[in-house]
Amino acid sequence: MTPASRIACYVVLTIAALITVVPLLYMLSLSLQTEAETMSADPVLWPEALQWGNYAELFERAPFGHFIANSLIVAGGITLAHLIFDPLVGYVFAKFRFPLKNTLFLMLLMTLMVPLFVRMIPLYTMMSNIGWINTHQGLIVPFLMDAFGIFLMRQFIQPIPDDLIQAARIDGASELRIYAQVILPQVKPALAVLGLFTFVFQWNEFLWPLIATTTEEMRTIPVGLTLFNQEYFTLWHLTAAGSVLLFLPTAAIFLLTQRYFVRGITLSGIK
Amino acid sequence: MTARYAITAYLFLLPAFAFFALMYYGPILNILSNSFHTGPQADVFAGLDNFLRAFADPAVHNSFAVTLIFGAGTTLGAIVLGLALALLVDKPLTGRVIYRAALLVPYLTSVAIVGLLWRNILDPQLGILNRLLDTLGLPTQTWLTTQPLVTIIAVTLWMNVGYTMVLFLAGLQGIPDMYHEAATIDGANASQRFWRITLPLLAPTTVFVSVMSVISGLQAFAQAYIITGGGPAAETDLYIFHVFNVAFSSRDFGYASALSFLLLLVIIVFTVLQLRAGRRGEVSY
């Protein structure tokens, strides 16, 4: 590369990176401004005095503690379920031989073509018939596992040598024990990717929690924030503080596990 | 022995298929059947009425057109910008890992954050963007009033471009170096190498990215729900937002189901077309 083209690359990349990062820094700034500053006709770039109290005020003005707890229960519960079910089903499709295996696998993959919008009305009707609207189980159960996670796990379990499984069988290990003590330890990195991705995705999920909750106390953070903003739409400092709190866990996970994360994205692009 | 393993396999699969039957196959059959029904419980048989109504409904035409433009805009933008950024961060530059991370950050945010944050930034009075333009001596805009659809396309691109960049980056890194080296020896310049080698070899990635992007573009919801409320004058009435309102504000489950079903058909058609187009352009190496 010539020095000139090198500089040009840096300039373009720096501008692009500023465009992606600066709005988020501005969100942080808004969250630390006074209400007057956020309403000023002359937008304030950075507050004169940092209003950390905004974060406390958020908990007084909205049941934000509930929002956080709900998000943790729902995203955490779904992630746990994926980590339990996806590899188990993936293992069966990777290592067992049984009649109709390919048909069943195809039926499973077909669910990848069913978007949430197709499911939202029937799921709503179903959940309301069994009284699960506005409950944690109503938010968790429709997402307990998915075909993509199962497919991913199957891909990772397939290369594990059959001899290993046979040896364990000869030693008299039960099928569940083989799964837990032979298979799972071999696919730890894949489990990490699956867990991270599921958690971040569910933590940010918006449509289903919006449909399936009816009271303030049951909202997850994304829904709580949006509805809070509609109810008190002038309170930008609090909306921004809530957004920062919603973003922090994902940002922390990303910083700590960047490599896994990028791997997760490229894996989701397996052809 | 084999029979015993088969039984074990079925036992392990049973909970999974019970789940998929209840949460996927059931709902598909349910919206199909709902599509032919009407009434508050979607229990009155209506034949093709819902579909005929959809084909004649100007609000549906509008929201379908809005959604197509949105899907086309976000897809085209994601491919062009994602590929351009991937080419840049693929170069041996110091700090490229930091640039990659910085460009990916908005993808990690919830669409709720993106919606609320940009509604604030774009606000004609309070917003910082107009202030910035003003400082630079550029004309200010009422983004969400005069250019609402283009604006929410841009905001969506802001959120998703890092994702397509990572996918293109993986595609680029999958191209063996020898092709470029051979071309360089043959005297091909950078632009020839890009158009004749990189781009054709990236065809599978490009197809994948466009399929994903079209599918997610047609399903966008929160941009309308949070940023524009579908307005002004239904100019950003994204299809799923429209269906959401028909279902949960008008409580017209039968009609909403028919509308969902129609979009599903459109998505399937797009996917098949794109996969066909991709197969033709694919180069094996």
pLDDT digits (tens, 9 = 90+) for A98-148: 999 999 999 999 998 899 999 999 999 999 999 999 999 999 999 999 999
Q: Express each pLDDT in B182-211 by its tens digit.
A: 888 888 888 888 898 899 999 989 998 999
Nearest to A200 among B85, B99, B108 (CB): B108
Decide if A225 and B240 are in contact by the 8 Å CB cutoff: no
A47, A225 in Cβ contact below 8 A?
no
Distance CA B226, CA B144 (A): 12
Strands B44-45 and B37-38: antiparallel
Q: Is B4 exposed, middle or buried (0-12, 13-18, 19+ CB in 10 A)?
A: exposed
Q: Provide, rounded to the nearest whole percent, the portion of chain B with pLDDT above 70.
A: 97
pLDDT digits 0-9 by tens, A226-265:
999 888 878 999 999 999 999 999 999 998 888 888 888 8
Q: For residue B240, is it left (φ>0), alpha (ψ between -120 and 50) or beta?
A: alpha
Location of structure tokens 């590929």: B83
Q: Which residue has the tokens 């997760």?
A: A264
CA separation for the pair B88, B243 (Å, rounded): 40
Identify residue A247 by its one-letter amino acid code: F
Which residue in chain A has the smallest CA separation from B130? Answer: A43
Its ipTM equals: 0.92
Among residues of chain B, what percentage have pLDDT more than 90? Answer: 66
Which of B2, B4, B20 should be substituted to probe chain A, the one whose Cβ sees the most A Cβ atoms within 10 Å? Answer: B20
Q: Which residue has the higher pLDDT, A46 or B125?
A: A46
Residue B241 in 3-state DSSP?
A: helix
Instruction: Report chain A's mean pLDDT, rounded to a whole number.
Output: 92
Distances (CA, A) of B214 to B72, B75, B106, B142, B153: 7, 6, 19, 28, 13
Nearest to B248 among A10, A211, A223 (CB): A211
Q: Which residues contact A191 (CB under 8 A, 6 or more apart)?
A: A83, A87, A184
Alpha-carbon gap, residue A111 to A99, rounded angstroms:
21
Q: What is the pLDDT of residue A262?
A: 84
Question: What pLDDT, on the 0 to 100 scale, is given for residue A18?
Answer: 96
B184 in reach of chain A (CB within 8 A): no
Contact B27 A12 (CB under 8 A): no
What pLDDT, on a 0 to 100 scale, did the predictor assign at position A270? 57
Question: What number of helices (H) and strands (E) belong to chain B?
Answer: 16, 2
CA B137 – CA B132 distance, rounded (Å)? 9
Kindly identify which residue of chain A lies nearest to residue B258, measuring between CA atoms. Answer: A118
CA distance B205 to chain A (A): 8
Q: Which of B14, B28, B105, B110 to mutate to test the interface with A (most CBs of A within 10 A)?
A: B110
By the 8 A CB rule, do B106 and A24 touch?
yes
Residue A44 has pLDDT above 90, yes or no: no
Instruction: Work out the pLDDT band at B225, boundaries 50, 70, 90.
Output: very high
Residue B110 has pLDDT above 90, yes or no: yes
Structure tokens at A28: 């942080």
Cβ contact B23–A142 (<8 Å)? yes
**Per-residue pLDDT reduced to its tens digit, B133-149:** 888 888 888 889 889 99
Listed residue (A192, A227, A218, A240) closest to A71, CA to CA: A218
Which residues make beta-bridge pairs with B44? B38
**Model confidence pLDDT, tens digit, residues A4-34:** 889 999 999 999 999 999 999 999 999 999 9
> Do residues B171 and B202 make contact, with C-beta atoms less than 8 angstroms apart?
yes
Q: Is the pLDDT of residue B232 over 60?
A: yes
User: Does residue B129 sit at the A interface (CB-CB below 8 Å)?
Assistant: no
Given pLDDT bands bounded at 50, 70 and 90, which one contains residue B280?
low
* Distance in Å, alpha carbon of B46 to nearest chain A alpha carbon: 18
pTM for this structure?
A: 0.93
CB contact under 8 A, B126 and A121: no
